[in-house]
């Protein structure tokens, strides 16, 4: 038997309603904040991620699904959304529109990692990006959108962690401090971090190796080396979050896993997921648009992992696992003529917005009613020759057993079902 590739999952019908609920909540919040949905290709030119994400990151060095197409071009299944949106922002001249440009997306992403709970090789993200606004008010708005989204999902035990990782000016001094610190541990660093030591020592802080992580705990913190501009920006962000009543914790260890971040970075973490606790993360980036060939423009955004959100919701809200919508009506039939009559009636009801079902497997009447019960149908009717002649049937409430006479005209039946829904 052929099975699904390692690190992928089937979203079965019993879970699809929960996924739709998360996606609909995301789209609803984005609409209120003025973020418009964008859809981009599932694969891009490999150079986009090498330049945009950073060639010293784990994503580029170890995790990308890269292949050569029949034309000899190097393409990569997208491992994240931001670089793709920057490419689209530049290529489609979205910078020519009134700024800022506010975009949202729900996408599949692909990273070759060791599969575990909450971390798959194919995963899905809801995210937003805002281009063309440098104000700290933008940072606060983006964080508040993520906060509202998680709150409307009904999640509890979520903590917002924030930090500032500075700009190119203060990062230069900080990187020297880090390099000097980690030089003393060269004999213990993993091979990847030894390379990072020269190219980008900040990436060592984000290393997943237990030894490197332990060494990084006492490394200098970026927040202690911010320039005046970055420090003022961060203070303004905190002031605005305070003003909106959004609680946060300053976590100087947050650097995020991608090279393009500058100034504000943040994560929402859950107490329900153990080691894979981050359900949403993001931050500001200056220079990424220019790096990818556009005119200088600031950006800020976040991404939330849908698989992890599903895990948290299932753990905190067990009833959410049964969000499947029950049919308004099940039509049981006796005989061929009744079956044909029922199919036409059901088609008319569905045209009127009614969720209706009938047996398609030739079951007996008794088996049809058991099937209706298993489907969770709210109401049922039984149609035979007599009901066709009379153009009436008994409408039965499947929960209470109460039955009333009802016309078999679709409009009348649809109206009655709306009343008793």
Q: What is the pLDDT of residues 108-162, one digit of tens each?
A: 999 998 888 888 999 999 999 999 999 999 999 999 999 999 999 999 999 999 9
- Return the pLDDT at 56: 67
Q: What is the mean pLDDT of the chain?
A: 93
- Return the pLDDT at 323: 56
pLDDT tier at 321, thresholds 50, 70, 90: low
In percent, the amount of the chain with pLDDT more than 70 equals: 97
3-class DSSP state of 217: coil
- Do residue 153 and residue 55 come from a single domain? yes
Residue 351: C-alpha distances to residues 40, 344, 347, 412 (Å): 33, 11, 6, 13
Round to whole Å and give the CA distance between 72 and 58.
25
The two tokens of residue 96 are 């020519």
Which residue is associated with the tokens 């900080």? Answer: 174
Q: How many residues does the chain have?
A: 421
- Return the pLDDT at 258: 65
Each residue's pLDDT tens digit, 331-352 = 999 999 999 999 999 999 999 9
- Do residue 82 and residue 102 come from a single domain? yes
Q: Cα torsion for 203, 206, 209, 215, to the nearest 10°?
A: 80
Q: Tell me which of 367 and 319 has the higher pLDDT.
A: 367
- Do residue 31 and residue 156 come from a single domain? yes
Give me the CATH number covering residue 236: 3.30.930.10
* Contact call for residues 267 and 278 (beta carbons, < 8 A): yes
- Do residue 77 and residue 96 come from a single domain? yes
Asked whether the predicted pLDDT for residue 174 surpasses 80, the reply is yes
Q: Which domain holds residue 397?
A: 329-420
The two tokens of residue 168 are 């190119």
Query: Among residues 298, 320, 342, which one ends one of the domains?
Result: 320
- Do residue 90 and residue 157 come from a single domain? yes
Asked whether the predicted pLDDT for residue 324 surpasses 80, the reply is no
- Do residue 395 and residue 277 come from a single domain? no
- Return the pLDDT at 47: 95
Total number of domains in the chain:
2
Each residue's pLDDT tens digit, 12-67 = 988 999 999 999 999 999 999 999 999 999 999 999 999 988 876 778 888 999 99
pLDDT tier at 322, thresholds 50, 70, 90: low
- Return the pLDDT at 359: 96
- Do residue 36 and residue 150 come from a single domain? yes
Round to whole Å and give the CA distance between 216 and 235.
25
User: Angle, to 10 degrees, between the axis of helix 306-316 and the axis of helix 13-33?
Assistant: 110
- Do residue 107 and residue 24 come from a single domain? yes
Query: Among residues 285, 320, 355, which one ends one of the domains?
Result: 320
Give me the CATH number covering residue 350: 3.40.50.800
3-class DSSP state of 47: helix
């Amino acid at each position: 038997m052929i099975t699904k590739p390692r690190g992928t999952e089937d979203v079965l019908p019993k879970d699809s309603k929960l996924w739709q609920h998360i996606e609909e909540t995301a789209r609803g919040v984005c609409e209120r904040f003025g973020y418009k949905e964008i859809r981009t290709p599932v694969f891009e030119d490999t150079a986009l991620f090498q330049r945009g994400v950073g060639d010293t990151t784990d994503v580029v060095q170890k995790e990308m699904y890269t292949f050569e197409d029949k034309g000899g071009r190097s393409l990569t299944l997208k491992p994240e959304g931001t670089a793709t949106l920057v490419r689209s922002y530049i290529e489609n001249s979205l910078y020519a529109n009134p700024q800022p440009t506010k975009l949202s997306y729900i996408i599949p992403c692909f990273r070759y990692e060791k599969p575990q709970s909450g971390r798959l090789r194919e995963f899905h993200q809801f995210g937003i990006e805002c281009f063309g606004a440098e104000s700290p008010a933008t940072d606060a708005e983006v964080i508040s959108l993520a906060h509202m989204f998680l709150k409307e999902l009904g999640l509890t035990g979520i903590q917002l962690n924030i930090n500032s990782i500075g700009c190119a000016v203060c990062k230069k001094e900080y990187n020297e401090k880090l390099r000097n610190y980690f030089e003393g541990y060269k004999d213990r660093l993993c091979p990847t971090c030894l390379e990072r030591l020269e190219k980008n020592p900040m990436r060592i802080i984000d290393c997943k190796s237990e030894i490197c992580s332990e060494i990084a705990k006492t490394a200098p913190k970026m927040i202690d080396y911010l320039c005046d501009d970055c420090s003022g920006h961060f203070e303004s962000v905190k002031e605005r979050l305070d003003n909106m009543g959004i609680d946060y914790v300053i976590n100087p260890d947050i650097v995020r896993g991608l090279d393009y971040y500058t100034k504000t970075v943040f994560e929402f973490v859950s107490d329900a997921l153990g080691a894979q606790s981050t359900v949403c993360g993001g931050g500001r980036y200056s220079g990424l648009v220019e790096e990818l060939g556009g005119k200088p423009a600031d950006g800020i955004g976040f991404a939330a992992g849908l698989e992890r959100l599903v895990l948290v919701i299932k753990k905190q809200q067990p009833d959410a696992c049964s969000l499947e919508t029950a049919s308004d009506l099940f039509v049981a039939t006796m005989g061929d003529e009744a079956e044909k009559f029922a199919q036409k009636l059901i088609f008319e009801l569905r045209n009127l917005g009614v969720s209706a079902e009938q047996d398609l497997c030739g079951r007996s009447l008794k088996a049809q009613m058991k099937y209706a019960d298993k489907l969770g149908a709210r109401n049922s009717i039984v149609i035979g020759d007599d009901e066709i002649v009379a153009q009436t049937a008994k409408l039965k409430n499947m929960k209470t057993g109460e039955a009333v006479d009802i016309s078999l005209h679709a409009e009348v039946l649809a109206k009655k079902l709306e009343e008793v829904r």
